[in-house]
Amino acid sequence: MKGSILVIDDEQPMLEACNETLAHYGYDVSICAAAAEGLDRARDRAFDVILLDLKMPGMDGLTALNHLQQIDPEARKVMITAHPTISTAVDAVRAGAFDYLPKPFSPDQLLITVERAMAQKRLEEENQRLRQALGSDIEVDGIVTQSTSMLAVINLIKRLADSEPSVVIEGETGTGKELVARALHQTSMRAEGPFLPIDCGALPDQLLESELFGYERGAFTGAQTRRVGLFEAAHGGTVFLDEISNLGIDLQAKLLRALQERSVRRLGSQQAIDVDFRVICAVNENLEEAMKEGRFRQDLFFRLNVVTISLPPLRERDADVPLLADLFLARLNEAGPRVVKGFADSARQALGAYPWPGNVRELSNAVESAFSLCRGEVIEIDDLPPRLRDPNGASKIDPAASLEQARDQFERDYVKRLLERYAGNVTRAATAADIHRSTFQRILQKHAILAEEFRQVSQ
Ligand SMILES: Nc1ncnc2c1ncn2[C@@H]1O[C@H](COP(=O)(O)OP(=O)(O)OP(=O)(O)O)[C@@H](O)[C@H]1O
Ligand SMILES: [Mg+2]
């Protein structure tokens, strides 16, 4: 059965016509000729979709709709109306109707409306299922996974909750290092305290030092007021030092001292201020490597690296790609107003085949870009960023094609590649190809390629 439908209408021919069409397409149909009877039926069992006449003797449709909202809030209600006026339609939607169907309508119109209502209900159920699943075992503060290696990470996070050791999180870009750091903080006894991230690679050392330690007024030129440093501000909480391998050697020594003495001195002050914060670090590269090369202090390394958490790249967690793609799509759907039902099989395959060098962040961006390009009910392979459609890059030349066709194919692939590389910037792509911009435009037109489609892609 495709789903259950209740039709409430006082006109017998109408009921029969609906019954015939919908039953023919495999729906489980119940019909009622009066509103009161319809409400009784809805009390007996749940329906996926309820079609309800707006004008009936005894009880008008809007009143019946209000009752139905109480009785079966999950069912999608569609109002049938002979004289659709904007105001009745608006009233009905305000009262919770999903849609309305003006009489007379064709079997096709009926089917399309019912299918849309069904799809919306299924999507809502799916989202709820996902939320419940996320709420249980597979989620610790936003980490969604089905892969054994990440489930082991979640277990580790739970086990570390009481002891709060210093942790180094390693993993490629976009694997979820910050997410894991937050989860470590959230599950710890410091959860009520602040979680303060700082990117050690983003600032030159001097600035970073004043950010971390703070300064007194007049400590250096430009220090016009006193400033509390991050370590002080993180009292009772967690400091997340992102890209710690970028920390200069002088600053490493100062950090080590602060950790050992559990106190800091603001720049320009001799006074030691007691601090109590936990340190969690993230690294993009292997810290041991940096240590061997003398770029990272050994004593600080051991101090920070009490526990190492290694996040596997997304390409090594196959099961997570469809799960996360569904999650990101469900989030976009929830934000509304547009709803995309899912991924076409070919799109799913492309997601699964791609190696995801930018890991989860890249996947999230790819789903978002496909969502905004998608014009149908599901995301098709053509909605996905171009690099996902042909991950090996090899243009498939068909030996049975004529030279003309093969050249065409090459030309098409070549300009697409250029657009990918230059993010849809036609001028730069044309310069790289060493042809005139207008020539490039002509080639795009010939192959019906839209440069705009390449602008949404971000790594
Ligand atoms: N397992 C996951 N479940 C849900 N969302 C995830 C998961 N892993 C990563 N994300 C999301 O992917 C994005 C990237 O994650 P995050 O910022 O933690 O990565 P990162 O390793 O710190 O990246 P970078 O090295 O580039 O700083 C974030 O939006 C994050 O919420
Ligand atoms: Mg990060």
Residue closest via CA to ligand 1's atom 8 equals 176
Per-domain boundaries in the chain: 4-123, 139-312, 320-389, 393-459
Q: How confident is the model at residue 134 (pLDDT cuts 50, 70, 90)?
A: low
- Could you tell me the pLDDT band of residue 457, with boundaries at 50, 70 and 90? very low
Cα–ligand 1 centroid distance for 418 (angstroms): 28
Q: Is the CB of 21 under 6 A from ligand 1?
A: no
Q: Is 325 exposed, middle or buried (0-12, 13-18, 19+ CB in 10 A)?
A: buried
For ligand 1, say whether the CB of 144 is within 6 Å of any of its atoms.
Answer: yes
**Which of 134-148, 287-301, 311-325 shows the lowest per-residue confidence on average (mean pLDDT)?**
134-148
Element (H, E) at 282: strand 278-283
The reported pTM is 0.61
**pLDDT (0 to 100) of residue 151:** 87
Question: Of the CATH numbers 3.30.1540.20, 1.10.8.60, 2.40.30.10, 3.30.360.10, which one belongs to the domain with range 320-389?
Answer: 1.10.8.60
Share of the chain above pLDDT 70, in %: 92
The residue length of the chain stands at 459
| Residue of 157, 178, 243, 245 to mutate, ligand 1, most atoms within 8 A of C-beta | 178
143 C-beta closer than 6 A to ligand 1:
yes
Position with higher pLDDT, 28 vs 218 = 28
Q: Which residues of 372-400 are buried (b: 16+ CB within 10 A; e: fewer)?
A: ebbeeeebbbbbbbbbbbbeeeeeeeeee
CB of 171 shorter than 6 A to ligand 1: yes
The Å distance, Cα 393 to ligand 2 centre, comes to: 29
182 within ligand 1 shell (Cβ under 6 A): no
| Gap from CA of 344 to ligand 1 centroid (Å) | 25
Tell me, using a 6 A CB cutoff, whether residue 179 lines ligand 1.
yes
Question: Does 139-312 match 320-389 in CATH topology?
Answer: no
Quick one: fold of 4-123?
A: Rossmann fold (3.40.50)
From ligand 2's centre to the CA of 130, what distance in Å? 25
Distance 242 CA to ligand 2 centre (A): 7
pLDDT computed for residue 391 by the predictor: 56
Residue with tokens 């030691």: 272
Fold observed for domain 139-312: Rossmann fold (3.40.50)
Q: Could you identify the atom of ligand 1 that is nearest to the CA of residue 172?
A: 25
3 lines ligand 1 (CB under 6 A): no
Cβ(364) – ligand 1 distance below 6 Å: yes
pLDDT band at residue 396 under the 50/70/90 scheme: low
Is-contact 245 285, C-beta < 8 A?
yes
Q: Measured from the CB, is residue 308 less than 6 Å from ligand 1? A: no
Q: Whose CA is nearest to atom 12 of ligand 1?
A: 361
pLDDT band at 268 (very low <50, low <70, confident <90, very high): very high
